[in-house]
Structure 1
Amino acid sequence: MKMRFLNEAFRLVNELRKFGEIVSGSRREEKIVKYILDKLQSYADEVKIHGFNVTMWIDNGSQLYVKNKSKEELIKAAALPYTPRSHVEGNMVYVREFGIRESKVDVEGKIVLTEWAKDPDEAEHQYLEAIEHGALGLILIDNYPSRLRRIVVKGTYGYSYNPSIPPPIPALGIRYEDGLKLRKMIGTDSVSVEIETNVKIDFEAEGKTVEAIFNGSCEKEKILITAHHDHWFSGVSDDLLGVAFLLWEAEKLKRQKLLREVRVISFGAEECGAPYFTEWYWSYGSRWYVKNVALKYGLDTIYAIYNWDVVGKGEIVISASGFEYLKFLSRKVNRVFLELDSPYFDSYSFSSLGLPSATINTIRNVMDIYHTDKDVLESLDSNTVKEAFTLSHKIVHDLISEKHALDTSVNVKVLEKILESEIRKGNVKPHILMKYGNLVEKYGVRALSMAITSELVKPIHEGDYRTSYSPLIQKFLPEYIYLRKCISHVRKILAMISEGFFDNVVTILKNIPSEVIISGEEKVVPLIRVKPLLKHLELGNRDVVHRSLADLLKCLEKRSSTSLERTPEILEERLRKIWRSL
């Protein structure tokens, strides 16, 4: 593959950039979809457009007007989706790191000015804190100069898949240098603010996904190559570069004799669009596709999914659904970090149903440009992009052409090893292996592998939604793993108290999350209630703490063994559904 492909990729990105910010359901989306459609029609055997209902949110030009006794100024700002259409006036108050750490500043009836959290997605938590404290509005100062940013804010805590309520107050993002200017104004005098958010919300808009089909000799095995075309601001890394890869790869597929059928898909409604302010607002287009398109042609015919999202600079990561995909990737790539699939990518819409899915990304290294107007070609590292294209082409080629690319028995063997280890430790009874073996015999390795991925790999939020923000992370056997971690901490603390060493007890207690939540399902796994224990330690009631923790330890050990012993039942329940679909 010649290196001039990079120039072709950047040329495609520049063509796609001309359509501007793309919100699913908008006229601009219609235009970029037509461009993608026209390109794919010249390569593929068949091209389809799938239309689906979305809640469209568009910022048509929001304003921030600031004044004190000596100065009046119009500050350039970007409304944060799903900010409502509104006109708000009030006094502005600066609160350092509002919503990130505790503050005694009264913000009720005021407009809060504060720094954006280090993790830009934490803006949703800052916004909810502003609502809880009775603020009239929220203004977030970017941590990097000369850029505006958009992050979706919500009206409720949580990540359910159900329709929710609209956000009630306006939220704006402003540039770093403008934030310094406003802080200086507040420091010398009282400042009044006028916010006007000129936004449009349409609950009956139609989003679009483009699908191109390349026939292969085996129609019963499909490879899906995916990206998303909707984006905030310029959106080059997130995800116009991914769409460029789809078009570039499609041109190559045209000239190949394919073992497996290939579907090249550009999703809409990845950034937002889930109807009626659904809490899990992202990746809606791919979720809709799975339920309304893939289910009809058969989930069992999907051999693997390869997704491209947020590739820009720094270390390349591939987030993959299960151990069979990770093993395949480990044979194909070097110098690439491999991890379990992330709930923040379109691939998760497939992996959550047990399908082998992966996303190539560099999301941890692009936070400075993530969802900003600085997400442009000039901000990317050409070496990273070149490596991502080269790797992706090789991975896609091998998924299409290798007869036994994925070994689904790997998932089964990994779980067997874990169970054997826990039996040796005495954490679970040996009969669980017999139950597990019966599932293999009854349903087969592939179906069991799908069930393991869909039921035992889950997105986790550490702590409760209201008092602690943490990004969602994928964990294998999450309930069992967190219970065992908590058991380890409690045992350590009990030993320290018994031996009279109290120095690190408080630190260890504070680092244990009170609970974990399996997000999406919204299942709460309680672990420990730390506050009363800390108070007893402060008062010197060490015997009370010791007795409480001893009782807690017994409960945790029982719950952990029960959690693992229920695994065959959970898997069989899922297997019955898979078996019916197969």
Structure 2
Amino acid sequence: MSRNNTRILGNKLFMKEVLPGSREENSIIRELKSIFSEYIDWFDIIQTPSLTWFDKECLLECGSSVYKCRALPYTISAEIEGYPVEAVLDNGYIKLLEDREYSIVFIEFPLEIDLVKYIVLELSKYDNVQAIIFYDKNPGIIRCCVVTGDYIYSTYTGSPPPVPVLSIAREDYSEIIRSKCRLRISVKTLVNKYSTAKTIVMGINGSKDDEIHLTAHHDHWFTGFSDNLVGLEILYKLATIFSEKRSVYSIVLISYTSRELGGLNYSSWYWSWGSRYYLKTISERSGLDKVFLNINIDAIYDYPIEIYSNPSLKHCIEELNNLRFKYVGFDNIGFDSFSYTINGIPACTFTSFNTMKSFYHTNMDNGVGFKYEVLGNFVENVKRLIRCIEEKNVKYSSMIEYMMNTIDYRDSIELRNLLTKLMYLDKLIENEEERVRFITKYFTSFTYIPGLKYEYVSDILGSIKLLKRLMNTIGEYLDRSIEVIDIDNVIASFKITKYNEKEILDILNKLISTRSIQYDRVFEKEVVKYIRSRKE
């Protein structure tokens, strides 16, 4: 397959930066409707309340030289003067290489973008820090990522960063540092807290009402070639296939808005807002029962294609080309598929995010080096996955096998008892699909340790897995104050030292028992509700 055979990747309309609620988004929604129209039976456009943000102007003056910069969302407008100071991130600690009044701090982007906001929050504790400017490891690269001022990841609140946060090219950073000039920053941004963004939903009817949702997102930074125009192109190819040879299931193709930013009230869980809002809407309107499966496509560049998936789908994923498509674990909170997972719907994301970290969310995500043969192979494997699910359904036994790998003989009796109950859930819930949805909905969690030693788990029994991981790596946190947070709830908070390390290990072990008991109570409560609902 070549670029000449594409409908979206060769379309200049899509190559512009597209933000939720923008004129560019309105244009591509119209274009998507036109491109897909001959292959679909129906469509709907979901009006999505969204916060949106625009970088209108970013200039950095150094003596007589003026450099272009990129403000990082959610930086607000500012005029600032100060002096360049370098900082480095070393083993989870930030070191300022100079102490100056009115410091404008330059620091390299970390490999893990999730650390950016914690670097900002840590540096902003210094009263003399006026602004923070990130540069990339490689020259010529401008990177963009959302920075909030909230230490945790909240679904309902947040704030802009405490100081302006910018990105510049590495070569410009080098010139500025050599010149030691006084700096002046001029940043103009626009925030619309009450924007209306748009998701487009398109259907190809099957012989069953049950739906398989094939999803991608259309909002993107810079050109956004791999993230995520390739995803849209794949949706188009799948539409042409399933319009001719229909699936047993109804195929619903969705291009989501507000994937990259958009959560209301500066929500620090800013991503995947469009998919969360849509699923909430259809849940209130008609229920989610007919949504059988989600296959999400995000950030596709090269092989290997990694698959984050509900383990109930693993038997079908293993039938794909395992040299090019690799199952790597449970669904990941970083993708729109996780919006389905937290609603109990089996979901997976296909991605090559780890092969494109060097240019992820940068001006270099422009299609250079992209191998177009990936498209055809990818489409065939998604088609193969759907055919397998049609024939073999989801498997609860795969979920049990996955969960049993969580424990060993040293684990608490409470955790082992919980897993025994889950193993024999078929005695209470006969339908295999409903058992899979039950476990997925009530036992998936996003648990994390915020800060410069950021760690997270999004998984079934995720809080228990993170607590166990912390026990195994506790030495890495010596002399640090840490919190363990499950979504918005703090479940542990302490400072670890050599003096108290042994006692904290004991505390963590007891916390695992406590979390197991809490999961057990959820199990008992929700099973009773399920049985009652089936009798009504």
TM-score between both structures, scaled by the size of structure 2: 0.89
Give the one of 441, 445, 457 matched to 2:427: 441
Cα offset, 1:334, TM superposition: 1.4
Distance of 2:121 and 2:350 partners within structure 1? 31
Q: Please provide the CA RMSD for this pair.
A: 3.0
Cα offset, 1:555, TM superposition: 4.1
Alignment of 1:306-455 (within 5 A): 306-320=295-309, 322-335=310-323, 336-338=325-327, 339-399=329-389, 402-412=390-400, 414-415=402-403, 417=404, 427-428=412-413, 432=418, 435-436=421-422, 439-444=425-430, 445-455=432-442
The residue number in structure 2 matching 1:504 is: none
Amino acid at match of 1:312: Y
Cα offset, 1:212, TM superposition: 0.3
The residue number in structure 1 matching 2:68 is: 76
The residue number in structure 2 matching 1:114 is: 107
Asked if structure 1 preserves the Cα contact closer than 8 Å seen for 2:14 and 2:229, the reply is no
Cα distance, 1:283–1:225 mapped onto 2, change above 3 Å = same
Q: Deviations over 1:459-502 (max 9, x none)?
A: 332x4x245334x4334423333444566679xxxxxxxxxxxx
The residue number in structure 1 matching 2:496 is: 530
The residue number in structure 1 matching 2:169 is: 175
Asked if structure 1 preserves the Cα contact closer than 8 Å seen for 2:115 and 2:452, the reply is no
Cα distance, 1:439–1:176 mapped onto 2, change above 3 Å = same
Matched pairs, number: 528
Cα offset, 1:14, TM superposition: 2.1
Give the one of 296, 304, 311 matched to 2:285: 296
Amino acid at match of 2:116: A
Cα distance, 1:73–1:340 mapped onto 2, change above 3 Å = same
Identify the range of structure 1 (378-387 vs 16-25) with the bigger mean alpha-carbon deviation. 378-387
Asked if structure 2 preserves the Cα contact closer than 8 Å seen for 1:270 and 1:282, the reply is yes
Distance of 2:52 and 2:436 partners within structure 1? 37
The residue number in structure 1 matching 2:152 is: 158
Amino acid at match of 1:451: F
Cα offset, 1:302, TM superposition: 1.2
Distance of 1:295 and 1:412 partners within structure 2? 31
Cα offset, 1:128, TM superposition: 1.7
Alignment of 1:443-522 (within 5 A): 443-444=429-430, 445-461=432-448, 463=449, 465-470=450-455, 472-484=456-468, 508=475, 510=477, 517-522=484-489
Cα distance, 1:210–1:16 mapped onto 2, change above 3 Å = farther
Cα distance, 1:108–1:42 mapped onto 2, change above 3 Å = farther
Q: State the structure with more CA Rg.
A: 1
Distance of 1:54 and 1:344 partners within structure 2? 18
Q: What residue ranges of structure 2 are gaps of 5+ in the alignment?
A: none
Identify the range of structure 1 (222-231 vs 290-299) with the bigger mean alpha-carbon deviation. 290-299
Give the one of 38, 60, 63 matched to 1:64: 60
Amino acid at match of 1:407: K
Q: Which has the higher helix share?
A: 1
Q: What residue ranges of structure 1 are gaps of 5+ in the alignment?
A: 491-507, 537-544
The residue number in structure 2 matching 1:277 is: 266
Cα offset, 1:442, TM superposition: 3.3
Give the one of 568, 571, 579 matched to 2:520: 568
Matched, 1:237 2:203: no
Cα offset, 1:568, TM superposition: 2.7
Query: Secondary structure of the residue that 2:190 maps to in structure 1?
Result: strand
Query: Secondary structure of the residue that 1:13 maps to in structure 2?
Result: coil
Asked if structure 1 preserves the Cα contact closer than 8 Å seen for 2:84 and 2:176, the reply is no
Cα offset, 1:406, TM superposition: 1.8
Distance of 1:485 and 1:200 partners within structure 2? 42
The residue number in structure 1 matching 2:33 is: 37
Q: Deviations over 1:269-302 (max 9, x none)?
A: 0000111200100000000011002553322211
Amino acid at match of 2:433: R
Distance of 1:439 and 1:216 partners within structure 2? 31
Alignment of 1:526-565 (within 5 A): 526=493, 529-531=495-497, 533=498, 536=499, 549=502, 551-552=503-504, 554-565=506-517
Distance of 1:277 and 1:574 partners within structure 2? 33
Query: Secondary structure of the residue that 1:378 maps to in structure 2?
Result: coil
Q: Deviations over 1:534-571 (max 9, x none)?
A: xx5xxxxxxxx6xx72x555544443334334433223
Cα offset, 1:407, TM superposition: 2.1
Cα offset, 1:324, TM superposition: 0.6
Query: Secondary structure of the residue that 2:88 maps to in structure 1?
Result: coil
Cα distance, 1:145–1:519 mapped onto 2, change above 3 Å = farther
Q: Deviations over 1:83-112 (max 9, x none)?
A: 101222222222234995332543663211
Give the one of 287, 293, 296 matched to 2:276: 287
Amino acid at match of 1:290: L
Asked if structure 1 preserves the Cα contact closer than 8 Å seen for 2:394 and 2:433, the reply is no
Cα offset, 1:327, TM superposition: 2.5
Cα offset, 1:367, TM superposition: 1.3
The residue number in structure 1 matching 2:17 is: 21
Amino acid at match of 1:47: F
Cα offset, 1:159, TM superposition: 0.5
Distance of 2:191 and 2:483 partners within structure 1? 34
Query: Secondary structure of the residue that 2:258 maps to in structure 1?
Result: coil
Q: Which has the higher strand share?
A: 2
Amino acid at match of 1:524: I
Distance of 1:580 and 1:83 partners within structure 2? 50
The residue number in structure 2 matching 1:123 is: 116
TM-score between both structures, scaled by the size of structure 1: 0.83
Query: Secondary structure of the residue that 1:313 maps to in structure 2?
Result: coil
Cα distance, 1:524–1:61 mapped onto 2, change above 3 Å = same
Distance of 1:263 and 1:568 partners within structure 2? 36
